[in-house]
Structure 1
Amino acid sequence: MTTDTAGIETLRAWLLEKHPDLDSLDDDTDLFENKLIDSLSFVEYILIIEELIQREIPVTPDLMPKTATLAKVRTHFLAGAVA
Structure 2
Amino acid sequence: MDRIAAWLHEKNPGLDGPIAADEDLIEARLIDSMDFLEFVDLLEKLSGTTIDLQEVTIDDFRTLDNVQKRFLAACP
Higher RCO (C-alpha 8 Å, min separation 6):
1
After superposition, what is the alpha-carbon deviation per residue over 1:19-39, rounded to whole angstroms, capped at 9, x for unaligned?
Answer: 121112111111111111111
TM-score norm. by structure 1 comes to 0.81
Instruction: Identify the residue that residue 2 of structure 2 maps to in structure 1.
Output: 9
Let me know the Cα RMSD of the aligned residues.
1.3
Structure number with the higher helix fraction is 1
| Alpha-carbon distance in 2 for matches of 1:61, 1:51 | 18
Which has the larger displacement, 68-77 or 52-61? Answer: 52-61
TM-score norm. by structure 2 comes to 0.88
Instruction: Identify the residue that residue 49 of structure 2 maps to in structure 1.
Output: 55
Identity, in percent, stands at: 36
Instruction: Identify the residue that residue 21 of structure 2 maps to in structure 1.
Output: 27
**Greater than 6 Å deviation, 4+ residue runs:** none
Stretches of structure 2 lacking an aligned partner (at least 5 in a row): none
Which amino acid in 1 is paired with 2:45? Answer: E
Which has the larger displacement, 57-66 or 39-48? Answer: 57-66
Stretches of structure 1 lacking an aligned partner (at least 5 in a row): 1-7
Which has the larger displacement, 64-73 or 18-27? Answer: 18-27
Q: Structure 1 residue 61: deviation in Å?
A: 6.4
Q: Structure 1 residue 54: deviation in Å?
A: 1.0
